Structure 1
Amino acid sequence: MNTPEQYQFSGPVTVFQETRLPEKATPAGYSALIDAYKVAVPLPRTLSATGEHHRIIERDGWRIMTPRHAPHPTLDGHLTFALKYEGLDLAILKRLFQATGPAPIEALVRESPTGSYARRIWFLYEWLTKSRLDLPDANAGRYAPVVDPDLQWAAQEQTAPRYRVKDNLPGTPDFCPLVFRTKALEEFVGLDLPQRAQAIVADVPRDLLVRTAAFLLLKDSRSSYAIEGERPPHDRIQRWGRAIGEAGRQPIDRDELLRLQRIVLGDARFVKLGFRQEGGFVGEHDRDNRMPLPDHISARPEDLSSLIEGMAAFDRGRAQGLDAVIAAAILAFGFVYIHPFEDGNGRIHRYLIHHVLAARGFNPPGFVFPVSAAILEHIDQYRRVLESYSQRLLPLIEWESTPQFNVRVLNETGDFYRFFDATPHAEFLYACVQRTIERDLPDETAFLRRYDQFRQQVDSFIDMPEHLTDLLFRFLHQNGGRLSNRAREKEFAALTDGEAERIEAIYQQTFGSD
């Protein structure tokens, strides 16, 4: 291990790791530690520095703070600054602790044994490295939360007497993405969307509720395949829909994920079931020599076991205290970045959203919000959210092409999938859930009410089988409320002109411009 004197913290700069600062400033907190200790990690979405002016600016991925915020240019100073102003970035902290070794952290704690930041750093070192420092248990100092709940969403607290801290991390050292508190997320949580959903369905007749729930479930299943660019047979869509309808009943573990993969793939003759034994990536191949052109590289197969166990522990552990949508975003997007299967990852990723929402009782009993339909409608934004981390992760992964035109990862990358900032993912998912509750759910209920009115009025003057009434409606719906000449000449040639006009009038009365 290098001695502390060998690490030099930067002075004022205008460029940091190929990114330009809004103005000349001195890296602080995580940016200073990354630079001084040469820590290879995905950069935080926002980096910090201190400038020469007495005002704070936030622009171009930087927060430039005032001279009075400048930390002491030491490991202790910059770690304290990071925890105080930037929250926890567990990937940076773990790589930093691996670079420093135990001695500097032990010295930091001995220098300030009752300090809350020193005790939090001590806890994080032992938690992340799964090793014990040569320090006696703390015997003084007020208990401090490990995650600052004013900066990031935290789980239920458990006291850790050795450090006199409150462990409120939502996961385990094997899987613990975090989400920052933002104005958008605070507003979403304040909407109390579960109560809104309950209010919408409260006055809907039971038979109508059952039909609404069935349609929304089918809509989500169909949309989840559409996102992958697939059009499977109707029985596969229905089978996957039934699986979604049972989400939340079984805990997520290895066996459950394997069961879901078998359901989602159906005919598995041309795909390999089970967890990957080789590398994986999302992207294309060069047309000439089949060289992989990855947009995202999946977790190494040797890391899958601990990552999956970490996700299972997150699902059944103290993340129960997190907001349901935030927890769903962490679990679902964590899964899709890990990409443990050769095929089926995207649909299982979206299933996990339903799993968490159902297990927490977020949606009314028997209802599945068509989140996949909302994602499909905002597919470009969905891809940008996925890329918000993949693009920062990809440059840190060293890989080579295999004879099978796959990728083989050459460096340690497991921590990049255990720990990431899931804030954009939580904001996006909350917007999708809000849309399904405030638009899809009432719209579908209203549609079925009007459809029932349409069918009853048609049945009142003409005797027609139900399947023909359905076909009649579809023709009208597709043609702006008018029966086409083709429909009049073929399927509904038996209708008189008067009957056709009356049916068109009924449609206009019940559906209008819709």
Structure 2
Amino acid sequence: MSSLLVGYAFLHQHLQIPLPEPAKPAMVASVTRVQETLLDIRVPAHVAVEGDDILAHALFALKHEGTDLGILSYALLQVSAAQLETALKASPSSAYLRVLAFLWEQFTGKVLDGTITVAGAYAKVFDSKRYLTGPHLSSARWRVHFNGLGDLFYCPVIRRTEEIEGWLARDLLSEAQQFFDATPRDLFDRALSWAYLNETDHTFALEGETPSTDKTQAFINLLKQAHEPRSMTEDYLVELQNTVITNPFLLAACYRNEQNWLRGKGIRGPTGVTYVPPTPDDVEDLMAALLKLINTRSSEIPPLVLAAVASFGFVYIHPFMDGNGRLSRFLLHYVLAQSGQLGHGLLLPISIAMKRREVEYLAALQSFSRPVRHLWRVTSRDDYQFDFSTLGSAKMYRYWDATEAVQFVFRMTEETLKQDLHAETVFLMRFDDAYRALDQALDIQQKDLVHLLTVCHQLNGRISLRWREKMAYRVPEDYFDQIEKVVRQCFEFPEPSQ
């Protein structure tokens, strides 16, 4: 089988690179041209690389498969300066060779022959037709633009799938702003209060928690900080972690200095460990790189794209022993708020949709976490303590594919906007209509009317016998029937069957 592999798949197997395998291996097949399928990349024999020439396979991969910085960061270390210099002198205008020369110097820390003169238009490390890209950092020596979303130390990649292209053609944040602008002010304030409360409740629900009143209010206050103009730093994150955690033994003073891991419910032993984040020694550098990307706030990176990278990238690094999930969702709101594309204080309660689509959320997380878990060896000390070892390094977490994460965040944003916020606004409008009609017709205390309206709505236009009996000495019997009738009319509930 190995003789049929070419490009990244060959390099991965031949060099035993400790990274997840390429999602779509390239292999020789009975085709007339290079064809990408859902599962692989099929290569005609006359195009495939023969033998085990590392440089030749790297050139093939860059040309036909795109850019995989993780595999190239290992493979180029096995290419000699002499081999690369000879190739450059023979083809000084080759865009792919110039990109590899640029990456070779970056990854090895060495310098190639300074007398080599290259030519041709500037080449891009990432093909902007294949990937979402960031600001250009240019190398005049090699006539190369590095245009990744991050830098060579930390660079998530996002493929231009058909779904992502569709989302980019829209402007969901502008749609959200227009929705809020079109909402009457009194409804707007109540809808926004609802959004903050439900974002909080569903954020905790995703962690399997039901927050106390104090924890709820603390997280709401936290969310309101997202719009404050403040750069994200380790100290700020520690401050935020201390806000969302109430157990004094779990409060952080800095990033974690011990190994963390995640485990499935009810599964004992190493097989129950579902994800292993980077070692404590790697956390500080990875977080510094992630925060650099977040704080850059480049106009070339759409806010929802950066928000997805920030949220998922943070949870993959897992820099604290507890509170990472809640902070990852705060970062999503923080990036959107800091973009300036949502008015001050506006919030999209995306966690409502995320909780409703929890299986999809888990699948998006596992698109990265599952293959990385296979690169760790976990052994038991007892049912709760483990030893961890891996042949890999922080590179596993530097060059991750954020495509699934970005697609998921786009979907949840639209669903929140079109479904949750719309439904809540309609509910408030109909509730107000019902209240006004009944307040004029009935002599009843405000708090009792609000309560009965709420109860009646929850029961689809009915007030139960229990509530009729409970409030019989406060509300005349015929009032209950009138409340039911108005609620059914305003909320368009069907008449009860006889």
TM-score, scaled to structure 1: 0.88
Structure 1 residues 86-485: aligned runs within 5 Å: 86-100=65-79, 102-136=81-115, 138-248=117-227, 249-269=229-249, 274-284=254-264, 293-317=272-296, 319-401=298-380, 405-485=385-465
The answer for unaligned runs of 5 or more in structure 2 is none
* Residues 1:294 and 1:190: Cα distance change in structure 2 (over 3 Å): same
> Which letter does structure 2 place at the counterpart of 1:513?
F
Secondary structure of the structure 2 residue equivalent to 1:460: helix
Residues 457-481 of structure 1: CA deviation (Å, up to 9, x unaligned): 2221335444433322221122221
Shift of 1:148: 0.8
Q: How many residues align?
A: 491
- The answer to which of 248-257 and 269-278 deviates more is 269-278
Whole-angstrom distance in 1 between the partners of 2:331 and 2:117: 40
Give the SS at the match of 1:408: strand
| Aligned mates of 1:138, 1:224 — CA distance in 2 | 56
Q: Secondary structure at the match of 2:16?
A: coil
Residues in 1 aligned to 2:391 and 2:288: alpha-carbon distance in whole angstroms: 21
Instruction: Measure the CA separation in 1 of the matches of 2:145 and 2:74.
Output: 23
Name the residue aligned to 2:467: 487
Mean CA deviation greater in 320-329 or 115-124: 320-329
Moved over 6 A (4+): 285-288
Residue 55 of structure 1: CA displacement? 6.1
Q: Describe the superposition over 1:52-110 as per-residue Cα deviations: whole angstroms up to 9, x where unpaired.
A: 22366555621213345424653333222222222211111112223446554444434
Provide, for residues 363-417 of structure 1, a one-character-per-residue CA deviation record: whole Å limited to 9, x for no partner.
3442211111111000011111111122211121234445770443354421111
What is the CA deviation profile of residues 310-342 of structure 1, one whole-angstrom value per residue up to 9, with x for unaligned ones? 011111237542122222222211111111111
Assess, with a 3 A threshold, how the Cα gap between structure 1 residues 203 and 166 changes in structure 2: closer, same or farther: same
- The 1:130/1:445 distance shift into structure 2, 3 A limit, reads farther
Q: Which residue of 2 aligns with 1:41?
A: 19
In 2 relative to 1, CA 36–328 (structure 1 residues): closer, same or farther, beyond 3 Å? same
Q: Structure 1 350/129 Cα, relative in aligned 2: closer, same or farther at 3 Å? A: farther
CA offset at residue 492 of structure 1? 5.3
Match of 1:51 among 29, 32, 38: 29
Amino acid in structure 2 at the alignment position of 1:64: R
TM-aligned CA deviation for residue 508 of structure 1: 0.8
Moved more, 319-328 or 259-268: 319-328
Q: Name the SS for the 1:247 alignment partner.
A: helix
Deviations 1:10-69 (A, max 9, x none): 43xxxxxxxxxxxxxx32210121122222211122222231223665556212133454
Paired AA for residue 178 in structure 1: V
Deviations 1:347-378 (Å, cap 9, x if unpaired)?
11111111111122343442211111111000
Normalised TM-score (structure 2): 0.91
Letter in 2 for 1:434: E
Q: In structure 2, give the amino acid aligned to 1:423.
A: T
- Kept in 1: contact 2:234–2:255 (CA 8 A): no
Counterparts in 2 of 1:362 and 1:513: CA distance versus 1, 3 Å: farther
- Tell me the distance in 2 between the aligned counterparts of 1:469 and 1:130: 74
User: Greater shift after overlay, 460-469 or 329-338?
Assistant: 460-469
Shift of 1:119: 1.0
Most deviating of 131-140 and 273-282 = 131-140
1:405-432 CA-to-partner distances (Å, cap 9, x unmatched) read 0443354421111111111111111111
Residue 162 (structure 1) shift? 1.9
Q: Distance in 1 between matches of 2:77 and 2:328?
A: 32
User: How many Å apart are 1:448 and its aligned residue?
Assistant: 1.3
Q: What amino acid maps onto 2:70 in structure 1?
A: A
Q: Which 5+ residue runs of structure 1 have no aligned equivalent?
A: 1-8, 12-25
Q: Which amino acid aligns with 1:53?
A: V
Identify which range, 356-365 or 292-301, moves more after superposition: 356-365
Which among 436, 458, 478 is matched to residue 498 of structure 1?
478
What letter matches 1:143 in structure 2?
Y
- The yes-or-no answer on 1:28 pairing with 2:20 is no
**8 Å contact from structure 2 (residues 35, 41) kept in 1:** yes
CA distance in 2, matches of 1:138, 1:353: 45
Q: Deviations over 1:160-202 (max 9, x none)?
A: 2121111212212332111011100000111221232233233
Summarize the Cα distance change of 1:183–1:344 in structure 2 as closer, same or farther, 3 Å threshold. Answer: same
Q: Which moved more, 1:190-199 or 1:148-157?
A: 190-199
Cα–Cα, structure 1 residues 129 and 264, in superposed 2: closer, same or farther, change >3 Å? farther
In structure 1, C-alpha distance between the alignment counterparts of 2:385 and 2:55, rounded to whole Å: 46
Q: Is the 8 A contact 1:156 1:318 kept in 2?
A: no
Q: Verify the 8 A CA contact 2:93 2:119 in the aligned structure 1.
A: yes
Q: Distance in 2 between matches of 1:377 and 1:171?
A: 31
State the AA in 1 paired with 2:258.
Answer: E
Q: Which residue of 2 aligns with 1:16?
A: none
Contact persistence 2:375–2:390 (CA under 8 A): no
C-alpha distance in 1 between matches for 2:419 and 2:69: 38
Secondary structure of the corresponding residue to residue 248 of structure 2: coil
1:285–1:189: structure 2 CA closer, same or farther, 3 Å change rule? Answer: closer
